Amino acid sequence: MNKGERIAKVMARAGLCSRREAEAWIKEGRVRVDGKVLSSPAFCVQGQQRITVDSKSIPQIKPTQVWLYYKPRGLITTHKDERGRPTIFQSLPPDLPRVISVGRLDINSEGLLLLTNDGELARSLELPSTAWVRRYRVRIHGKVKVSELEKLQHGITIEGIHYGSIIATLDRQQGDNAWLTASLKEGKNRELRRVFEFLGWPVNRLIRTNYGPFQLGDLTPGKIKPVSPRILRDQLPKKINR
């Protein structure tokens, strides 16, 4: 017997919000199914049941889309900032549907950010089990010791927090600054900044160039470009053919 899909998953796939946000909205009493207020995110939706949030029907589930976006420095990766700082979503083209970011880049970081209209896909691509490599170009202040870089591939613990393997190479030393290429699979908040600062090399520029199979390419700050359906089918066959 088909038990349907969990309400939070349906809302996320409709591009309305992330699954976590959907669960919070349900607890706040904002979500109804066929007119009845939901009290638990464990509810499963079947057939053509009508779902509303704040008395408005949720959007129909549309085909999964993904965009490559060059996040500029100075923007927050959130839909609303309590301190009133500008967000990436305020800078996106007005004709773009509601999208969710796959992970985040901090306010001073730039480069490749994946955006999608499918909240469930965004969640799955963020999971450590995806094991996608994130690659960055990093400019640091200081004289780099290659031997210190090589140690990072075994992980490092700083103030009780363990950071996993980082593959880092020296591209070039320019006076008191150096450019590095750094790759990791599971990035904690501000991981590269904290690790390199611990080594005595504060980061003064950080650009993400790759997220799994997707590359920044020739995108410039603030620009966005859609990923073709064919590439999505090739790269995400199990995740978009649900």
Catalytic residues: 106
Overall size of the chain counted in residues: 242
Check residue 128 and report its DSSP letter.
Answer: G
> What whole-number distance in Å separates Cα of residue 149 and Cα of residue 157?
14
47 in the Ramachandran plot: left (φ > 0), alpha (ψ -120 to 50) or beta? left
**Phi, then psi, of 138 in degrees rounded to 5:** -130, 125
Lookup: tokens for 109:
């970081």
The full DSSP string for 62-88 is ----EEEEEEPTT-BSSS--TT---BH
